[in-house]
Every structure is written in C-alpha cells, then in structure tokens.
Amino acid sequence: MMGEILKQYTEARINERLHLFLQFPDLRRSFREIDRKDLAYHKASISLREGHNKAKYSYAPSYNSILMNSIATSD
C-alpha cells in the first residue's frame, strides 16, 4: 500500500501531491524526499539545456562579424 501511494505521489501533479501530503502525514518525509529529487532533476535539466544552447549558438557572434564584414566590403 505504501509503495502504491509513493508511486502515485511521484506521478502526480502539484494539486494531487498536496492532497496526498495532507492525507498521509506518516509519509511526509518520503514525499519531501521525492520533491527534493524532482527539484534537483529539474534544476539539472535546465542547466544542461542552457549549456547546450550556449554551445549551440556560440558561433553566432563570429558568424555575424564575418557576414557584416562581407556586406561592408562588397560595395
């Protein structure tokens, strides 16, 4: 039973999580641990995305400089 509730909490959205948190006070420590892991995962995911986007577009300034120089010298 406890495993089912924890699984349900893990898969739930915030509103259902709140209801489960209030309904099962004995499991609150486990619920907080799930929330902590979720938060860490989301922070890591955002950090990785930002790093990927920086690497992906890091060539942009040099490309723009080359483009602008070629336009300026084409006259």
Give the per-residue pLDDT at 67.
47
Give the per-residue pLDDT at 41.
84
pLDDT tens for the chain, 75 residues: list them.
Answer: 899 999 999 999 999 999 999 999 999 999 999 999 999 888 887 776 766 565 555 555 554 555 455 555 654
Give the per-residue pLDDT at 44.
81
Nearest Cα neighbor of 28 from 39, 37, 17 is 17
Total length of the chain = 75
- Contact status, residue 34 vs residue 6, Cβ threshold 8 Å: yes
Q: Which residue has the tokens 């336009």?
A: 71
pTM above 0.95, yes or no: no
Task: Report the distance separating Cα 43 and Cα 49, nearest Å.
Answer: 10
